[in-house]
Chains A and B, each alone.
Chain A
Amino acid sequence: MRPGAVVAVWGCLLAGLAILLATFPLDVEAVALLGGAAASMLLLALLVLVAERPPRSEDRRAIPDLSLATPLAGIALCSLVVGAEVGLWLILIGAGLLTLALGGLVREGRAQRRAGKEPR
């Protein structure tokens, strides 16, 4: 069984249940929610099926051990969200931290790609 097929089967089950729901006295919100979930799963299944390929022996990936930019991004996102209640000053701090974090993530990504290309 291919991984994409698992997601597709599950999406089809949701779609069947959504169709069954539509045959009952109409509840537009309920049908939209379940139908939307089915559609999103079928889309995900399609993506998984398209991206599927067996691993090749020459494939090499570098795995990060540490990413300090990621917790910084987490703190920044929390500051941005809570800032909506606490005040603009926290939103600005959050935006600054997020900029720093994104820069750090780009730098980490480049280093990771370089490490993956280094000769064995």
Chain B
Amino acid sequence: MSVAVASQRLPRFVALAGGTDHKRVGLRVMVMALVFFLAGGVMALVMRTELAQPGLQVVSRGAYNALFTMHGSTMIYLFVTPAALALGVYLVPLQIGAAELAWPRLALLGSWLFLGGGITMYMGFLTNGGPGRAGWTAFDPLSDAANTPGIGMDLWVFGVALATAGEILLAATVLATLLRRRAPGMTMLRLPMFSWTMVVTCLMTVVSFPVLIVAMGLLWVQREFGGVFDSAGGPIAYQHLFWFYGHPVVYVMFFPFVGAVAEVVATFARKRFFGYRALVLSLLAFTAISMSVWAHHMFATGQVPNRYFALTSTALLVPAGIEYFDLLATLWGGSLLLRTPLLFALGFIVQFLIGGLSGIFVASPPLDYHVHDTYTVVAHFHYTLFAGSLFGLFAGFYYWFPKVTGVLLRERLGQAHFWLMAIGANVTFFPMFFLGYDGMQRRIADYSQHPGWGDLNLVSSIGSGVIALSILALLVNIAVSLARRQPAGDDPWEGHTLEWATTSPPPRHNFTTVPPIRSFSPLLDLREARAGSEAPAAAEAT
């Protein structure tokens, strides 16, 4: 198969708006997602300042409701999910030896819908009543026109629907590329680990995200005309629709980073990844089971078969255990190169374990009744999404930054970023387990003078400041590295997968020639073959 190309130099603005190169689209979505991350982070800092001491009133209660709604919405709809998909848009064609995505225009449209959705959601800040303030879940009847009046909430509904539609398009193009555009020799069982995680991520996205668009459409009709969720089972029906998206999205925000961590671990342990086939099978099982756990968020309603959802939620331990075992076995006996990407990967492995283990407790209905809607749940999901996924994202960020830009990030600043973030994340989120167990509710702007709550909240708020410092270290690192460029070369880490066989940054159509593909680590194969042929020659020379 060959590719006809009519490349031309495009004016910068035109190329930025309408360029269909998957690298350009992926990079644009990633940059937009990181901008939204900064906005969501600022909101978190304001919230933590508000909660630092009981009785403190930095913002009004209404503003606090808007802040936690927009913080959660930003991080889930506009940051982690699109960042995960952006990694796939950028890297999947490079990893499978393709020249382009399967449907480049659809990916471009997805990036615009995502941006349009984000802007629409944030336009709520310009309205009289402020933005949406019914939580990132917008449960009915809290989110109906009587309880949350105002155009800001409607804009939130539209923004979520548009951003989600964009994410579906991005996932569909990545999935079609993985299924139809692989280079000769790149069979499904030779896909790199990151690409496999994108297969399952995109399957989950295309099957669960449309349900959220339906839920948002119905919510808007409910707000405008009523009659949709008014019946006795209406609020439960909304929760079913929402969580059928809302739990799989947790894994959409997780698996791509497992893939990134797997690549980092194998590369920096100087070893072939251990248990590739077991990983592939566990990914398929893990994602299928994770599609059927959504109603564990609804245990407290008493309206769902709790035993089934407790069973499936606990069953997730088995494939998760296989993945952890594979990662640890790859590290075991490797000659570890302890650079920033590996530090973040190790941070991911350790901290996600805390998030995962605390998930077992809330998968049990009696324990969930005790901590439902408390800070224990906030701690649990921040350990999975922030202390877990975000560390995985940064492992991938530091690993692939030289490929994307052609320059190396500064190692010392990277390590400062890691340590500050690791300390900040644990100081912020660990006290929340105790607060929640002791009964402190989430989504409140103020709390009583309960013994110990003030101190634990103060510690948590100080931790959030340390996280802000870590992000500052990252921004300085990016600025310094791009201003005083240290060329990275094509393959600074001795990577195992095809993206390291092309230039940094890659050319428009990625490859001039694709190396032979005989396994999921084609460059490692080449290196080993070269070493094998050089050894007898060296022996002959001596």
Contacts and interface: CB of A to CB of B under 8 A. Distances in A.
Contacts of B87: none
A84 B113 CA distance: 16
A61 B158 contact: no
26 contacts: A1-B189, A2-B188, A13-B289, A14-B291, A17-B291, A20-B308, A21-B305, A21-B308, A27-B295, A27-B305, A30-B295, A56-B1, A60-B4, A66-B10, A66-B15, A70-B105, A70-B108, A70-B112, A71-B112, A74-B115, A77-B113, A81-B161, A82-B158, A108-B105, A115-B4, A120-B2
B167 interface: no
Contacts of B208: 37
Interface residues of A, number: 57
Contacts of B537: none
A95 interface: no
A13 B286 CA distance: 10
Interface stretch (B16-24, B349-357, B462-470, B484-492): B16-24
A74 B1 contact: no
Contacts of B241: 33
Contacts of B68: none
A88 to B, nearest CB: 15
A57 B2 CA distance: 7
Interface stretch (B72-80, B179-187, B493-501): B179-187
Interface string A33-72: 1100100110010001001000111011111111110110
Contact of B109 (A9, A14, A60, A70): A70
Interface string A1-12: 111101101100
B114 to A, nearest CB: 9
Contacts of B287: 10
Contacts of B151: 85
Contacts of A102: none
A118 B184 contact: no
Nearest to A12: B288
A93 to B, nearest CB: 14
Q: Interface residues of B: mostly helix, strand, loop or mixed?
A: helix
A94 to B, nearest CB: 11
A75 interface: yes
B308 A74 contact: no
B477 interface: no
A38 B229 CA distance: 26
A65 B109 contact: no
B285 interface: yes
A91 interface: no
Given A3-B180, A71-B112, A74-B109, A10 B288 contact: yes
Interface in A75-102: 75, 77-78, 81-82, 84-85
Nearest to A108: B105
B203 A7 contact: yes
A65 B284 contact: no
**Closest 3 A/B residue pairs (Cβ):** A74-B112, A78-B116, A13-B288
B155 A82 contact: yes
Given A4-B179, A17-B292, A70-B105, 12 more contacts: A6-B284, A9-B284, A13-B285, A14-B291, A17-B291, A21-B308, A33-B240, A67-B105, A70-B20, A82-B158, A84-B158, A115-B6
B348 to A, nearest CB: 25
B4 A66 contact: no
A60 B10 contact: no
Interface string B82-111: 000000000000000001100011001101
B61 interface: no
A65 B188 contact: no
A14 B2 CA distance: 38
A62 B509 CA distance: 12
Contact of A24 (B3, B165, B199, B307): B307
Contact of A85 (B155, B180, B312): B155
A15 to B, nearest CB: 10
Contact of A30 (B154, B200, B305): B305
A110 to B, nearest CB: 14
Nearest to A116: B4
A23 B4 CA distance: 55
Given A64-B105, A71-B17, A57 B1 contact: yes
A6 B155 contact: no
Contacts of B154: 85
